[in-house]
Amino acid sequence: MKKIFIFLSIVLLIGCSNDLNEKLVENIKVLETNDLLLSNILINYDTYKENTKGILKDYSHKRGEIIFNIGGKDYSAIDLEFTTKDELNTYREDVIKIFKDKINPFTKDVEIKISNTYDAGYNEWKYVFTKVIKKYETDDNSIGITNKIYTLEKINGKWKVINIDKFTDFFYDNMENKKGRTKKEAMKSMKYQTINNEKVEYIISFNPLD
């Protein structure tokens, strides 16, 4: 009887752990989706906050984040707080004009990868890693990659994202001629791709713009 009880307890613990992992990964998916929509000027900052309510500890990291630049002026998330749909469209058109005949900053060829949760090893924190890959229609096949590591903490019984570290770089054909290393070599050197000397494993992949 005791063995059966122990077995059932283990099963319940595993089930709860899996449910928690799925919930945290889903929360990160919501954040990544809305980060992309905001950076593509498809939603305003109010919508971003509404869609991500309860996931972040606070929005201090996001308010001042630069979304785009027009005519030498930076526009941060807070500048888009009460922006209408028509105003968003105007901003998008202005940004596209700046990059005319060079690159489409709002490429729809996007892949977002999200890892499972990892124990941080201290403070009972958890990590979730993401990789955002944007491919651009250019002669040199440019690719932009952003790696992030989300730190989550249980606050008043609920898991919240308390910190986001990220690293972005761009890659293109013939990098070796200009920077002395190939595109493949450069991609391998990016931050936030390993934990405990092990390669991060991504469990889901999606494109919010599909």
pLDDT score recorded for residue 122:
81
- As a whole number of angstroms, the distance between CA 113 and CA 202 comes to 6
| Long-range contacts formed by 58-63: CB under 8 A, 24+ apart | 61/163, 61/164
Question: Domain limits of the chain?
Answer: 18-206
The answer on pLDDT for 15 being more than 60 is no
* Residue 171, φ and ψ in degrees, nearest 5: -135, 150
The answer on pLDDT for 12 being more than 70 is no
Which tokens sit at 98?
């700046």
pLDDT one-digit tens code per residue, 108-144: 999 999 999 999 988 889 999 999 999 998 888 889 9
Task: Judge if pTM exceeds 0.85.
Answer: yes
